[in-house]
C-alpha cells in the first residue's frame, strides 16, 4: 500500500536549522535535505528508513557518495530537522513537522495506515481516517500458545478501538492552538472542549484559548471560566462576545464579567456566583 503524496509544502522562509545546513555544506546540503523530504513524502509519507544500504543507494541516485550524504543527514539530525530519538531507535528519518504536514495532506483519504511506534503526534485524536498499526512482537512458539495469545491481542485491540471511538475528535485548529500554547490534551480536557464546541461556536472556544495565552493564564480552568461566563450570559457567537466587550470598554470603575483580559478564573467564578 503506497501512503505517499505527490507534492508537499516548502515554506519560503525556513528557520535557522536549514540555514545552518546550507552554511556548513553549501547548496548541496540544502538540496540533499529537500531530496530526503521528497523521498519521505513520496514513499511512506511520514517517514523513511535510513540504513547504510539506503544511504549508498540514495547517494548514487543524487550523484554523491554514501558517506557524503550520511554526513549531511547526521548534521540534519543534530540540528533537529529529523528526530534523533526515532532515528537512534528505529533508523528512520521523520519529524513532528513532516508528520503534521503529511496527515493534513491525506486527511481526505478514506483510510491511512500508520505505525504507532513511529508517531510524534496524536493523529488518532485529530484525523478520523487514520488506522494505527501496533508494533510487531516476536513470539516464541516454544513458550507461548500462539492461538491463545492471538485471541488476547485481538481482544485488546477491540477494547482499544472502543476507547478511541469514545474520545471526541476536535477541529484541527483547536487542537493545535491548545497543544502548542497550553498543554497536551488529556481525555478529560478533550471531552470538556468538545462539550463547549457543541454549546458555542468554534470561534468563541478559539477566542477563550487565545485570551488565556494573552493573559498568561495557560490552564484549562481559566479557559472554561471564560466560556462559562459568556455562555451564562447568553453569548454563544464571537460577534456577541466582542459586542459585549465593546459595550463595557472604558468603564474602569465596574468589575465586569465581560473583561476577560483583567480577571483570573477565581475572580470570574466569584462574579458568576454573584450574578446567579
Per-residue pLDDT 10s for the chain (276 aa) are 567 888 888 877 778 899 999 999 999 999 999 999 999 999 999 999 999 999 999 998 888 887 889 999 999 999 999 999 999 999 999 999 999 999 888 888 888 888 889 999 887 666 778 888 765 434 333 443 445 565 556 655 554 553 444 677 889 999 999 999 999 988 888 888 989 999 999 999 999 999 999 999 999 999 999 999 898 889 999 999 998 888 766 554 434 445 555 555 455 555 545 544
Residues 129, 177 within the same domain: no
Q: Answer with the one of 109, 135, 161 that is the final residue of a domain.
A: 135
**Domain, as residue range, for 235:** 172-275
Q: Are residues 85 and 181 in the same domain?
A: no
- Look at residue 254 and tell me if it is in a domain: yes
Looking at residue 203, its pLDDT comes to 94
Answer yes or no: do 100 and 195 share one domain: no
Q: Are residues 3 and 61 in the same domain?
A: yes
Cell of 198: 457543541
- Asked whether residue 127 falls in the same domain as residue 206, the answer is no
Establish if 267 belongs to a structural domain.
yes
Pair 82, 95: CB distance under 8 Å? yes
Q: Which of 129, 153, 150 is nearest to 141 (CA)?
A: 150
Q: Is 206 part of any domain?
A: yes
Both 17 and 116 in one domain: the answer is yes
CB atoms within 10 A of CB 148: 9
Per the CB < 8 A criterion, the answer to whether 197 and 170 are in contact is yes
Neighbours of 82 (CB within 10 A): 24
Residues 186 and 130 in one domain: no
* Boundary-marking domain end, from 135, 160, 180: 135
What values do phi and psi take at 150, rounded to 5? -65, -40
Same domain, 191 and 110: no
What distance in Å separates the CA atoms of residue 239 and residue 210, rounded to the nearest whole number?
Answer: 16
| Whole-angstrom distance, CA of residue 134 vs CA of residue 157 | 9
Same domain, 52 and 97: yes
d(CA 267, CA 225): 9
Can you give the CATH number for the domain in which 228 is found? 1.10.10.630
Q: Report the relative pairing of strands 48-49 and 92-93 from DSSP bridges.
A: antiparallel
- Please report the pLDDT score of residue 13 as a whole number: 75
**How many structural domains are present in the chain?**
2
115 within a domain of the structure (yes/no)? yes
Q: Does the residue 148 lie in any domain?
A: no
In a domain, 141, yes or no: no
Give the per-residue pLDDT at 110.
86
What pLDDT shows up at residue 261?
56
CA distance 137 to 13: 43
Looking at the structure, tell me whether residues 128 and 181 fall in a common domain: no
Q: What's the CA gap between 149 and 171, in Å, rounded?
A: 38
Which whole-number Å values give the CA distances from 130 to 37, 95, 107, 110, 202, in the listed order? 21, 18, 8, 9, 23
Q: What is the pLDDT of residue 140?
A: 39
The DSSP code sequence of 209-262 is: HHHHHHTT--SHHHHHHHHHHHHHTT--SHHHHHHHHHHHTT-TTS--TT-GGG
Same domain for 207 and 102? no
pLDDT at site 209? 95
Is pTM beyond 0.85 here?
A: no
Q: Is residue 167 part of a domain?
A: no
* Residue 239, pLDDT score: 92
- Res 141: pLDDT: 38
Same domain flag for 235 and 122: no
On whether the CB atoms of residues 28 and 76 are closer than 8 A, the answer is no
Residue 6 confidence (pLDDT) = 87
The 8-class DSSP code of residue 167 comes to S
Q: Do the domain assignments include residue 166?
A: no
Amino acid at each position: 500500500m503506497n501512503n505517499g503524496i505527490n507534492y508537499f509544502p516548502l515554506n519560503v522562509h525556513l528557520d535557522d536549522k536549514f540555514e545552518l545546513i546550507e552554511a556548513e555544506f553549501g547548496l548541496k546540503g540544502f538540496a540533499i535535505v529537500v531530496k530526503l523530504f521528497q523521498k519521505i513524502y513520496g514513499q511512506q509519507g511520514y517517514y523513511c528508513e535510513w540504513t547504510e544500504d539506503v544511504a549508498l543507494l540514495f547517494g548514487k541516485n543524487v550523484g554523491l557518495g554514501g558517506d557524503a550524504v550520511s554526513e549531511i543527514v547526521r548534521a540534519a539530525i543534530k540540528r533537529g530537522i529529523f528526530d534523533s530519538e526515532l532515528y537512534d531507535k528505529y533508523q528512520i528519518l521523520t519529524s513532528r513537522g513532516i508528520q503534521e504536514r503529511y496527515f493534513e495532506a491525506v486527511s481526505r483519504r478514506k483510510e491511512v495506515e500508520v505505525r504507532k511506534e513511529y508517531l510524534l503526534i496524536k493523529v488518532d485524536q485529530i484525523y478520523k481516517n487514520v488506522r494505527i498499526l501496533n508494533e510487531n512482537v516476536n513470539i516464541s512458539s516454544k513458550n507461548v500458545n500462539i492461538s491463545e495469545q492471538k485471541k488476547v491481542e485481538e481482544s485488546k485491540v477491540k477494547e482499544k478501538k472502543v476507547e478511541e471511538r469514545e474520545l471526541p475528535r476536535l477541529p484541527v485548529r483547536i487542537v493545535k492552538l491548545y497543544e502548542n500554547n497550553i498543554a497536551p490534551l488529556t481525555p478529560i480536557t478533550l471531552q470538556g472542549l468538545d462539550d463547549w464546541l457543541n454549546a458555542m461556536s468554534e470561534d468563541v472556544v478559539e477566542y477563550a484559548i487565545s485570551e488565556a495565552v494573552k493573559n498568561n493564564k495557560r490552564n484549562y480552568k481559566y479557559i472554561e471560566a471564560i466560556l462559562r461566563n459568556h455562555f451564562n450570559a447568553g453569548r454563544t457567537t464571537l460577534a456577541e462576545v466582542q459586542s459585549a466587550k465593546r459595550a463595557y470598554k472604558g468603564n474602569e470603575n465596574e468589575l465586569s464579567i465581560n473583561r476577560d483580559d483583567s480577571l483570573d478564573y477565581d475572580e470570574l467564578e466569584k462574579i458568576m456566583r454573584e450574578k446567579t
